[in-house]
Amino acid sequence: MYTKAILFSLIAAASAQQVGTEQAETHPSMTWSKCTGTGGTSCASQSGKVVLDSNWRWVHKVGDYTNCYTDNEWDSTLCPDNASCATNCALEGGDYPGTYGINVSGNSNKLTFVTKGEYATNIGSRTYLMADDTNYQMFNLLDQEFTFDVDLSQLPCGLNGALYFVSMDKDGGMSKYPTNKAGAKYGTGYCDAQCPRDLKFINGMGNAEGWKPSSNDPNAGVGGHGSCCAEMDIWEANSMATAYTPHSCDTITQTMCDGDGCGGTYSADRYGGTCDPDGCDFNSYRQGDTSFYGKGMTVDTSKVFTVVTQFIGNPLTEIKRFYVQNGKTIPNSESTIAGVSGNSVTTEYCDAQKIAFGDNTSFADHGGMASMSKALGAGMVLVMSLWDDHYSNMLWLDSTYPTDSTKLGSVRGSCATSSGVPADVEASSASASVTYSNIKFTAMLSTPDTPGSGSPRHRWRETGEETEEETEEETGKETGKETGDRYSYHGRKQLSRRPWWLPTLPKLAYSKVLGS
């Protein structure tokens, strides 16, 4: 056994996914808040870091400047197979603002769409929140509330500023796959419910075998393997449209799939994999309210606003959405589609929506809310990204898709069906950016009738009105009345103490990236 162990370690070292030494990898620091106590009023600042996904990094020959991957093709000498690729190639550190357009300051992360560096032009980015330099920050979201501020006023049709959670390994797969020597420090281990096959490395090995360069993306291609796991899309949006969407999987943790058996965007059979590629989405425009979200609308995307998502129940029963803007709490829009009621994601909503729109039932087929509940409870990694879409021009988010469809549910936003072509948006909106800031993670009290509970009927008002009462700091006492129906979800009674998420009117301050 001892001899076999030594032999295995030598083989692993000889075929490991390597780390480069040409550019030091320095993770920019980003703070966020963890809140507890009645109403989530006690918040402690957390010192996190941000790391760039490995797929964006320079991959070169170990000890040399020779590219292992140029444009959208592998070097056939260095990467004749996946094992050789892991042996011969190294992931390099990055200049976050200079090369990738990632500017992190205080509690904000600003991602610029196109960045022209000294050696190459970078398009989009995908970043993760870290607990330290070698581990991702893990979030257990059951009975929790997640909030952040977002400025996406510059994002036009065709771009997607996406903030979401995936069931990646905490260390990026280092302990699970000994050939992965880069780990979370270099942004390895990505997975999602599309089981992406455009990843250059999966499970500590290259993805060069069977690689087919993209016909319309000069930087990407599709390999023989994909990487699957559960996905909770908190926020996919531009200034024109938005959706939040849970995606279920048979196996919630990261697993590798093969070829078209991966399903999802990158495969011939979209529904042939072990994960749900469609999800159960709540898009206000698609659900019938066309004046709720956009510039000058109820949620005014020309200005900064706060996005609040509550994961209610353990096990999960409901995913609820609110917004806060200009001192007002804005409940999510109600679905006006016949047979589909409500303004949150529940099993009942998902089942009714799939029937009304005639959509595939893959969300329920792969476990639905029960599967999502397991993923949320097991711990997930936070992703902050900005991207364009070489497969469907983001029309599934902000336009009519399929473009020739007249079916109910095909209209998802007001963008033209000719919009979102990557070559067009990369040329016309190169300087577009999205800023995520002021992230807060709050424990929700599980007792339904406890005043100050995280239950939405206690912590939120559905009126959208400004709070009229003064804070305790202003008056020296609480001014709310302890009436029996003070916490009625549908009533107009107000909280006796101003919650942490509601600023003192008329002041409303948002973090800005220094130098932006």
Active site residues: 231, 236
The gap from C-alpha 301 to its chain's centroid, in whole angstroms, comes to: 19
Cα–Cα distance measured from residue 185 to residue 189, given in angstroms and rounded to the nearest whole number:
11
| 8: number of Cβ within 10 Å | 11
The closest of 16, 24, 22, 26 to 63, measured between CA atoms, is 22
Hey, what long-range contacts does 41-46 have (CB within 8 A, 24 or more apart)? Answer: 41/497, 41/499, 41/500, 43/440, 43/500
Radius of gyration of the chain (CA): 23
3-class DSSP string for 247-292: ECECCCCCEEEEHHHHCCCCCCCCCCCCECCCCCCECCCCCCCCCC
Specify whether the CB–CB gap between 187 and 52 falls below 8 A. yes
Q: Which amino acid is at 128?
A: Y
Q: Which amino acid is at 77?
A: T
Cα–Cα distance measured from residue 297 to residue 285, given in angstroms and rounded to the nearest whole number:
12
The closest of 27, 93, 114 to 422, measured between CA atoms, is 114
In degrees, rounded to 5, the angle at the alpha carbon of residue 14 between the alpha carbons of residues 170 and 51 is: 30
331 prior amide bond cis, ω within 30: no
| 274: number of Cβ within 10 Å | 18
